[in-house]
Amino acid sequence: MTYTRLDDRWDEHPHYVGLELEHFGLMACALTYANRQLTDGFIPSKAVRNFGRVGKGNTRAAEHLVSLGIWIRVDGGYQIDGFLELGVTNARTEGHNRVIKQVKRVACGFRNQANYERRIMLHSAARRAARTISSQDPRTAPAHGRRARSPRPGPGPGSPGP
């Protein structure tokens, strides 16, 4: 389940002062839809028509939001203006999903639940340690998924050889 963050003073924002309650309702439905479907602020026209019981009134309210510059009319629907600038994207969710899939892949094949959980914990600890190493010394950071290596002793590249 996803959650949508709304500022406590959302209704007092200069863009929204003077909006009717139906516009706030439509905005709330659109924001929750975009977060639930991971669309980065795109709302299909069909989804707008299906919000609540109003139906055709939603399209009229959506066009009013377009006229105020709050939404942008795009092919197939609407784009919430400033959705990405607010820092609300699906990147965090996608990142968590990727890590979950990777951990499941690493621990695949264990029949014993306790061993499965231990392998997941070991993988998580190794990832955390790699992040700590890379933040401390960039020379020992893993390069594109490879294991970390210790710095080479002696002269660097480009220096005259023996």
* Three-state DSSP class for residue 35: helix
Phi/psi of residue 71, nearest 5 degrees:
-115, 160
Which residues are CB-neighbours of 151 under 8 A, at least 6 positions away?
137, 139, 140
| Cβ–Cβ < 8 Å for 43, 78 | yes
In the predicted model, what is the mean pLDDT of the chain? 75
Task: Name the residue ranges covered by the structural domains of the chain.
Answer: 10-80, 91-137
Query: Residue 152's pLDDT band (boundaries 50, 70, 90)?
Result: low
In the structure encoding, which two tokens stand for residue 72, read together? Answer: 């942008």
Residue range 136-157: average pLDDT? 54
For the chain, the straight-line distance linking the first and the last C-alpha, in angstroms and rounded, comes to 63
pLDDT for the residue numbered 75: 92
Phi/psi of residue 59, nearest 5 degrees:
-65, -40
Residue range 115-132: average pLDDT? 75
Residue range 20-45: average pLDDT? 87
Distance, CA of 119 to chain centre: 27
What confidence tens digit (pLDDT) does each residue in 49-106 have? Answer: 888 765 566 888 888 889 988 889 999 999 988 776 655 556 666 777 777 787 777 7
